[in-house]
Structure 1
């Protein structure tokens, strides 16, 4: 998924579920920042303090950058959560490890991840971790059928559009990529088709199965399940029975997912922000923005830097407010999420990727 869903739709769903503006803004910022936190390493301060941050994405999520994209510590816990064949802990899917690693929508693994984040909400970074969790949870719908490792199971051929005709546009765009080297990793074989909410398309996967994808339907289902999870979070009860998104908000979301058809995620995102500002949803008018890097970004507010990329051996000015900054809490949340997924949750399913 792209910024229109991870930031715009996540904010809408959070507000509809009952979060106030400030909390919903944090959740939505974190959900999108998972795709933009590309820097890792040690932060050094002028008073001797240090802070270890981690990345949750690679630069531009670039499928040409196949050496970096092979890093399991980013793709598996943050973008292609293994689905265990859609089966619970006690059952093993046929096909070995790759069948366990392929992402499945709303899998048992994904549901356990959500429940854990609800239980951990009282930590200082609890709300930020919830935003990270919502990113990963939503991606289980968009990235279904693909895995975060380089494997022939990720192959996609005979790609067709919504009318079942060969997708020449995609084939032309693929010519600009190092196909033989970069693919098949993740959904690189179909570029951003899984991430665009308005697309209906299909392909033949590495197993020779014909797959039909209906992104508007899948994205609406993701939004609805996120809404239910948000309700449970507010109740502090991961097992609570939660309703679906009420009408007419659900219809508005469905219509916007299908009818905003701009290829650029940033353009689609702008239209979601305009709808939110105009009071199109039942929670009323609201103004939100997202600044990943540079002036007034979370990083700028925490470290005082407007640079997109840190200089080597850079030393930052320490202020006591750093400890409670959203940027620091986001990175704390990434660490907590990563440790839980890789070292606790996946091993319960017989998956060792640490």
Structure 2
């Protein structure tokens, strides 16, 4: 999914789940920042203090995408959560190990991930971890059928549009991309088709089976389940009954999924405009997202706009850094990564760390 869902829709779902503007903004910001946090390593401050962080995304066609370890460290825990064939712990899907790695919507693995996030809500970075968790949770719908490793299982061919006709537009776009070692990683063979809310499309997968995808239906189901997860988070009970999206708001979200076009950034601005207009039952709100530079969480935390190797200045340390949203996001990122790779996946017989 793209910024329109991870930020705009997540904010809407948070408000509809009962979060006030401030907390909903934190959750939505973190949900999107998973896709924008591409730098890792040590931050050194002017007073000798240090902070180490990991990344949750790669730049487009970053060379690290081709390294198996990098695939496991980034794509699997943050974007292509293994689904274990939709089976509970102790059971294995038919076939080889790769079948366990394929992403499945709302799988038992995904549900256990959300439950752990709710159980850990008391942490100082609880809201930040919720945003990260919901990013991964949402992607289990968009990325279903693909795995976060370079493998022939991700192959796709004979793509068709919503009317069942050959998707010439996608074929034309694919010819402009480097196809070598980058594919088939994740859903690279179908580019952004899984991430566009309005698309209905199909393809033949790596096993030779015809797959039909209805993105509006999947995205709406994802939004409803995300709202339920947030309602349970507020209750502090991962097993609580939760109503999900209110009926009228659900219909408005469905209409926007089906009708909005353009790039992810364009659709995002349209979602923010609807929010500002009071399109949803929680009323009007001003929501913004700054990934980097002036006004970003990172700039606020470090008092620098970019990390420039040619700039000898070190960030100025302030005690407020410890409670900054940027620092808490990275604390949550590391906690999420450790839990997924060292605790959760091994329960399902999956070793990727």
Category of TM-score, reference length = shorter chain: over 0.9
Match of 1:317 in 2: 316
Match of 2:272 in 1: 273
Match of 2:171 in 1: 171
- CA distance in structure 2 between the partners assigned to 1:174 and 1:242 by the alignment: 42
- CA distance in structure 2 between the partners assigned to 1:112 and 1:319 by the alignment: 37
- CA distance in structure 1 between the partners assigned to 2:83 and 2:62 by the alignment: 22
Q: Which runs of 5+ in 1 are unaligned?
A: none
Determine if the alignment matches structure 1 residue 212 to structure 2 residue 212: yes
Determine if the alignment matches structure 1 residue 54 to structure 2 residue 35: no
- CA distance in structure 1 between the partners assigned to 2:180 and 2:301 by the alignment: 42
Task: Classify 1:301/1:243 alpha carbon distance in 2 versus 1 (closer, same or farther; 3 Å).
Answer: same
- CA distance in structure 2 between the partners assigned to 1:90 and 1:65 by the alignment: 33
* Equivalent pair of 1:8/1:28 in contact (CA under 8 Å): yes
- CA distance in structure 2 between the partners assigned to 1:66 and 1:139 by the alignment: 18
Match of 1:110 in 2: 110
1:109-152 CA-to-partner distances (Å, cap 9, x unmatched) read 00000000000011001110000000000000000000000110
Match of 1:193 in 2: 193
Over the aligned positions, Cα root-mean-square deviation in angstroms equals: 1.3
* Equivalent pair of 1:63/1:188 in contact (CA under 8 Å): no
Q: What is the CA-CA distance between 1:161 and the residue it aligns to?
A: 0.5
Q: What is the CA-CA distance between 1:258 and the residue it aligns to?
A: 0.6
Match of 2:290 in 1: 291
* Matched residue count: 351
* Equivalent pair of 2:79/2:136 in contact (CA under 8 Å): yes
* Equivalent pair of 1:64/1:177 in contact (CA under 8 Å): no
1:218-270 CA-to-partner distances (Å, cap 9, x unmatched) read 000000000111110000011001113112100000000110022x1000000
Q: What is the CA-CA distance between 1:65 and the residue it aligns to?
A: 6.5
- CA distance in structure 2 between the partners assigned to 1:236 and 1:269 by the alignment: 30
Which runs of structure 1 show a deviation greater than 6 angstroms over 4 or more consecutive aligned residues? none
Match of 2:299 in 1: 300
Say which is worse superposed, 178-187 or 248-257, in terms of deviation.
Answer: 178-187
Q: Which runs of 5+ in 2 are unaligned?
A: none
- CA distance in structure 1 between the partners assigned to 2:178 and 2:165 by the alignment: 25
* Equivalent pair of 1:102/1:144 in contact (CA under 8 Å): yes
Q: What is the CA-CA distance between 1:333 and the residue it aligns to?
A: 0.4
TM-score normalised according to structure 2 size:
0.97
Q: What is the CA-CA distance between 1:207 and the residue it aligns to?
A: 0.2
1:71-104 CA-to-partner distances (Å, cap 9, x unmatched) read 3100000000000001111211011210000000
